[in-house]
Amino acid sequence: MTTYIFRRIIQTVLLLIVLSYVCFNLMTLMPGDPIELMISSNPKITTEDVARLREFYGLDQPTYVRYKNWISTLLEGDLGYSRTYRIPVAEMIGPALKYTFILSMCSLILSLAIAIPLGIYCALRPNSKFDYIVNLLSFAGISAPSFWLGIVLIIVFSVKLGWLPAGGYQTTGLVYDNIFSEILDKAKYLILPVVSLSIQSIGRFSRFARSAMMEAMRNDYIRTARAKGLSENIVIWNHGFRNALIPLITIVTLSLSSVFSGALITETLFAYPGAGRLIYTSIISNDFNVAMVSFIISISMVLVMSLIADLLYGVADPRISYE
């Protein structure tokens, strides 16, 4: 087990280096660079300014040299400087990751809390009226585009009913008396984006849970367990659900890997200052340092969560061995 984990960590680090180089190259291949964008917005910039700024930012160097400089700065613990926001990357990416994590985790927890019981309930009563209704709603949820859903939620709950704020993450300028009032204030800003994100996930997760559970409940050992006279609860949870866990572990760990990547459309619609919007803005504005750090975090999360998923398979199913 330890050897397996160690081997996977080494693979992860190597993969990370290769992927970061690929991403860096892809970034440099994009048309335009930070200076060209500056020239577009400032007609006063002279030829001398262009040469000076290119040299200043190291854009006159070959890509591999720039990558080497970037990685060595990163290894020194310096994430670089944002050319868009004019502050060190570490100072701006931290809050964005925190907000995205809160949004994504709330949505994931809510989705799992609703979708898994729903999926299991439907699997245990296939083709019932309830199952049909849940199936219909699941497909509706999966099919609804998030930008449309977000706008509908804003129009209904913010504009028409006036119950919830249309965007942001807290009441700007409000001074909180205590932690409870802060949590309450921030919670109301989370409701619409969380619901918007969760509606799709609930549909997806409940479909997965239903099919995994149905598959598990069709196995011979379920019939054997029932024949042995075990209670229905033990048959469902100890024999059925445990065997349905493997596909669920895959989907949950993969979803967890994106908790720091952000949800661009939802964050933009609800003016939520998360990492998704930050990554998008940094790519559009050629803010290499921010974009690269964001890529590294996203890639690392996918790799780490894949490793965790592999380890959890062994926990859920003792037949899986890592020797």
- Quote the CA–CA distance of 60 and 65 in Å, as a whole number: 10
**Among 161, 220, 228, 318, which residue sits at the site for other proteins (rule: CB under 8 A)?**
161
Query: Which residues are paired to 81 by β-bridges?
Result: 88
Which residue bears the tokens 């720039």?
66
User: Segment contacting other proteins (CB under 8 A): 12-20, 162-170, 221-229, 245-253?
Assistant: 162-170
* Number of chain residues interacting with other proteins (CB under 8 A): 75
* Identified binder of other proteins from the candidate list 19, 164, 230, 301, rule CB under 8 A: 164
Contacting residue, 105, 109, 151, 234, with other proteins by CB under 8 A: 151
Tell whether residue 105 is a contact of other proteins (CB under 8 A). Answer: no
d(CA 302, CA 307): 9
154 touching other proteins, by CB under 8 A = yes
Decide: 261 and 279 in contact? Cβ < 8 Å. Answer: yes
CB 268 within 8 A of CB 277: yes
Over its C-alpha atoms, the chain yields an Rg (Å, rounded) of: 24
- For other proteins, which is the closer residue by CB, 290 or 303? 290
Which of the residues 43 through 82 are near other proteins (CB under 8 A)? 43-47, 49-54, 56-57, 81
Q: Which two tokens stand for residue 28?
A: 């440099």
Per CB under 8 A, which of residues 1..40 are in contact with other proteins?
Answer: 30-33, 36-40
In the block, residue with structure tokens 């060209």 = 36
By CB under 8 A, tell whether 163 contacts other proteins: yes
Q: Which of residues 166-225 bind other proteins (CB under 8 A)?
A: 166-169, 171-173, 184-185, 187-188, 191
Give the span between the Cα atoms of 320 and 310, in whole angstroms.
9
CB 208 within 8 A of CB 251: yes
Taking CB under 8 A as the criterion, the residue among 281, 301, 306, 308 binding other proteins is: 281
